[in-house]
Amino acid sequence: MVKMSGITGLFLYNSQQEPERLVTRMSRLIAHRGTETIYKFIFDSGSSSAFIAVRELWPDQVYVQSKPSSLLVIEQTPKVRECSFDEIVKDVTAFNLLVLEISTDGLRAFRSSDGTKGLYIARIDTGYAFSSEKKNLWKISSEMIQPLLPGQVLSIDSSGRENVKVYASDKPHVVHNFDKQREIDKLASLLNESFQELKNIKRCAVLFSGGIDSSLAAYQTTKYCSKTLLVTALCRDSHDTIASTRAAELLGIEHVLVEIDENTIWHTLPEVIYAIETSERMHVEIALPFFLAAREARIRGYQLAVSGQGPDELFAGYAKHERIFKESGPEVLESSLRNEIRITHENNLQRDARAVAFNGLDIFFPFLQPSFVRTALSIPARFKINPGMTPSRKIIFRELAMSLGLPRELTKVPKRATQYSSGISKLLATTVSNNVEGETYAGKKQKTRLVQVVLDTIASKLDIPIGGKLGELKMDFEPTLKLRERLDSLAPSDER
């Protein structure tokens, strides 16, 4: 299960003034990821050192093995805790893993190929800084912040020389001699295995839209979690209001609606932008309902959010997939799906994980268990797309959902983009124009351009790098400045 612990720290090959103080400041910026423990390692030479802050929402999420000559930090997966660093990185089934090893040879970092855990690295004058999130690296490095990509091992020796090696994941090959029922049964077995991660969890909140992905996630969650709550954040009279309410009734699961209005959007925008570390409009629109749903779940005492992320990329759920299938053929679509899964870690997973983690919740992506992903990608495209059917996409996934027991009506729900089905996109444009002086009566095109400028302006006030220069807008900065003050208060008292 993905548990939103966090790691941040420094690897220094030259002396650094007050490194522990700097690591403490970095750690405070990811305080939403849990309780702090700081570890330090001094190399035999005395000139090189490493300092790591570990944050855990739940006990025993991060395993730390300390020896006289090395420090091994594993986030998380208990089955690999008795393994060496080299054994872990060669395991093609490794899932939900981030591993750091600090020894007399230097530092090594590994991120498993599923990409559900993030790690970012930046050069500083005396070495390197690294973190689960970018926000605590922005102020301490003028260098570009780089993500450690899924499947990569970064090695930095005690002199500061770095090397990157990629450990390829077990690449799936499309099975052309295909037995559909056998594969559906296999997918069902793998999905049940994935959801068994919830069997010891008492309370689970599902990020719910009423679509097939979140409905199947909810249905499966009830099999293993003692108490399940469906949480939907949306605008009044949006499509998701009817869809989610109807789906919850069919599933017979407790459901709470979180209504989003202009005031909510304007006062939440700074936190969302800061949490997901981007002001790009599409990502903000998608993250807003997840952020607010996670916040509601936390208020109600839940500590885990279940996400339906994954089936659209695995089983061809977008309109573009059908277009590729029609215009370029099944092989091109199969290749496209493999590429989408390869990059979904940054486009989708890290955005959603950060939005949820900022509210103090863990997140679980059940559809991204490695064996399930490999099996899904081995299925020929002709079993995923059928232009003659309605719905025409994710065909075999819908059959899988039905075989697992999801009500037939819910297996036929067509795909709708979150930002449109929740009503967020339209209301965001209206909210922005109403909070910028002189823009209340702006036309549709002007509102569209204005939204991105305002999002970038908010980001710049929070020290989020956006690139380019912005003009001054006369707008309500109160929510942004309140967050700015909150962030400044995390610095040591003599730095404020």
| Mean pLDDT of the residues in the chain | 88
Averaged pLDDT, 372-396: 96
pLDDT confidence tier of residue 41, bands split at 50, 70 and 90: confident
In a domain, 173, yes or no: no
pTM for the structure as a whole: 0.91
Q: What does the alpha-carbon distance between residue 332 and residue 327 come to, in Å, rounded to a whole number?
A: 9
Higher pLDDT, 174 or 63: 174
Averaged pLDDT, 478-492: 88
Most confident of 154-168, 226-240, 273-287: 273-287
Higher pLDDT, 380 or 149: 380
- The answer on pLDDT for 331 being more than 90 is yes
SS3 letters across 277-330: CCCCHHHHHHHHHHHHHHHHHHHCCCCEEECCCCHHHHHCCCHHHHHHHHHHCH
On whether both 184 and 278 belong to a single domain, the answer is yes
On whether both 438 and 403 belong to a single domain, the answer is no
Higher pLDDT, 284 or 342: 284
- The answer on pLDDT for 186 being more than 80 is yes
SS3 letters across the chain: CCCCCEEEEEEECCCCCCHHHHHHHHHHCCHHHCEEEEEEEECCCCCCEEEEEEEECCCCCCEEEEECCEEEEEECCHHHCCCCHHHHHCCCCCCCCEEEEEECCEEEEEECCCCCCCCEEEEECCEEEEECCCCCCCCCCCCCCEECCCCEEEEEECCCCEEEEECCCCCCCCCCCCCHHHHHHHHHHHHHHHHHHHCCCCEEEEECCCCHHHHHHHHHHHHHCCEEEEEEEEECCCHHHHHHHHHHHHHCCCEEEEEECHHHHHHHHHHHHHHHCCCCHHHHHHHHHHHHHHHHHHHCCCCEEECCCCHHHHHCCCHHHHHHHHHHCHHHHHHHHHHHHHHHHHHHHHHHHHHHHCCCCEEECHHHCHHHHHHHHCCCHHHCCCCCCCCCCCHHHHHHHHHHCCCHHHHCCCCCCHHHHCCHHHHHHHHHHHCECCCCCCCHHHHHHHHHHHHHHHHHHCCCCCCCCCCCCCECCHHHHHHHHHHHCCCCHHHC
Domain that holds residue 428: 424-495
On whether both 192 and 330 belong to a single domain, the answer is yes
On whether both 439 and 410 belong to a single domain, the answer is no
On whether both 350 and 393 belong to a single domain, the answer is yes
On whether both 397 and 434 belong to a single domain, the answer is no
How confident is the model at residue 46, as a pLDDT?
63
Averaged pLDDT, 392-396: 97
Q: pLDDT of 340-364, one tens digit each?
A: 988 887 778 889 999 999 999 999 9
Percent of the chain with pLDDT over 90: 54
In a domain, 368, yes or no: yes
In a domain, 147, yes or no: yes
- The answer on pLDDT for 496 being more than 60 is no
In a domain, 174, yes or no: no
On whether both 108 and 233 belong to a single domain, the answer is no
- The answer on pLDDT for 472 being more than 80 is no
Of 166, 197, 230, which residue constitutes the final position of a domain? 166
In a domain, 1, yes or no: no
Number of domains in the chain: 3
> For residue 132, what is the domain's CATH number?
3.60.20.10
pLDDT confidence tier of residue 112, bands split at 50, 70 and 90: confident
Q: pLDDT of 61-103, one tens digit each?
A: 788 887 777 778 887 656 676 788 888 888 767 777 889 988 8
On whether both 117 and 221 belong to a single domain, the answer is no
On whether both 288 and 142 belong to a single domain, the answer is no
On whether both 408 and 428 belong to a single domain, the answer is no
> For residue 375, what is the domain's CATH number?
3.40.50.620
In a domain, 458, yes or no: yes
In a domain, 86, yes or no: yes
In a domain, 171, yes or no: no
On whether both 241 and 333 belong to a single domain, the answer is yes
Of 401, 418, 435, which residue constitutes the final position of a domain? 418
Of 141, 166, 191, which residue constitutes the final position of a domain? 166
- The answer on pLDDT for 379 being more than 90 is yes
On whether both 219 and 267 belong to a single domain, the answer is yes
Least confident of 139-153, 160-174, 223-237, 276-290: 160-174
Averaged pLDDT, 176-197: 94
